[in-house]
Amino acid sequence: MNLITPYYLIDENKLLKNLKVVKYVRESSGARSVLALKCFSAWAVFGLMKKYMDGTTSSSLYEARLGYEKFGKEVHAYSVAFSKDEINEVKLFADKIIFNSLSQLKLFYHDVRKNNIGIRVNPKVSFSCFDLADPARRYSRLGVIDKKELREALPLINGLMFHFNCENDNFENLSSNIDIISHEYGDLLKNLDWVSLGGGIYFTKEGYPLEKFCKKIKSFSEKFSVQVYLEPGETVVTHSAQLVTKVLDIVHNETDIAILDASTEAHMLDLLIYRLSAKIKSSPGARFKYILAGRSCLAGDIFGTFKFKSPLKVGSLVRIQDAAGYSMVKKNWFNGLPMPSIVIKKRDGSLDIARSFRYNDFVNNL
């Protein structure tokens, strides 16, 4: 198959490795897992994913509708703020509607009273390496803080969502924060049917104490007689995809700079937002150093500095690792650069071009 770079390459076998961990957590803890579509919405692999997951969770009407139409199973519909028109549509296919504030709950309760309703809570504890992504940062607008108001709203709701982690691979921190939630909100939890502990828990990481994690979740569930939900996104798709690029030019300014046919701004935006370097597989004995740069006009469109075993040249392929989470959902048409195709490497090794983009897609996007 003649694949034109750049393209995202999703490997089903690598994805399956993570999904089997999700299944183990479900069977061992009783927690249900709903895919966080804000992180990954490439529905070409939903057929595989839904065999191991319980549904989807969203941050907007469109994501909720996508989960309903392409994934099926449970649909959790959350938004920082719904409009009246959005509520009228989302209530038709969402199993659970989760409001970010009590004012939104009161405003739309009459419209959704026949649905299963939840409220997002800000427990004032969190885990994040970045202030930008910290759900409990100062002045956070994400979730309700006032426990007195939550208690008054109990007759209107069925569950609570605590989304307080961002790439948390520290079990001890998670365990401690779950204990805080148990202590601070226990009297509320006992009156509810379900609790979501949100996403951002990196339980598929190599060496993560899964047994302790499952025991903790199961104990929490049994203590309050609630169904626990997890909302994994990146932990489900981590290490399952690459952004395959090609060197278009090599320039020199004190050091060698390889210009790729991709862009951080357009194709891996999180690298730019969080000032991270891309991940490239290292080779023993690598000694040829290059700055890998994108081809947008942005001066800071840089993937990072890396060493290679052999010199790069025009036409060399460069594979950027861990390119599934927050990449395809954030890709954009900055500079009118070609949008990467989405290619699936099936479990039998065959390749399938799930989506490709052309000039008309660029034009119609505007």
Where do the domains of the chain lie, and which CATH numbers do they carry? Answer: 12-237 (3.20.20.10), 239-365 (2.40.37.10)
Q: How far is residue 324's CA from residue 40's CA, in Å, rounded to a whole number?
A: 7
Whether a cis peptide bond, with omega within 30° of 0, leads into 209 is no
pLDDT score, position 188: 96
Over the stretch 23-63, which tens digit does the pLDDT of each residue have?
A: 999 999 999 999 999 999 999 999 999 999 999 999 999 99
- Alpha helices by DSSP H, 209-249: 210-224, 234-237
pLDDT score, position 185: 96
Helix (H) or strand (E) holding 98: strand 96-99
Q: Are 269 and 72 in contact (CB under 8 A)?
A: no
CA 225 from chain center: how many Å? Answer: 28
pLDDT score, position 283: 82
Question: How large is the C-alpha radius of gyration of the chain?
Answer: 22
Distance from the first to the final alpha carbon of the chain? 31
The CA distances from residue 164 to 72, 123, 200, 229, 332, in Å, are: 26, 8, 8, 14, 28
Q: How far is residue 15's CA from residue 357's CA, in Å, rounded to a whole number?
A: 24
pLDDT score, position 240: 98
Instruction: Return phi, psi of residue 351, to 5°.
Output: -110, 140
pLDDT score, position 1: 77
Tokens of 246: 């090609």
Q: What is the largest CA-CA distance in the chain?
A: 67
Residue ranges of the chain whose pLDDT lies below 70: none
pLDDT score, position 4: 96
- Coil, helix or strand at residue 57: strand
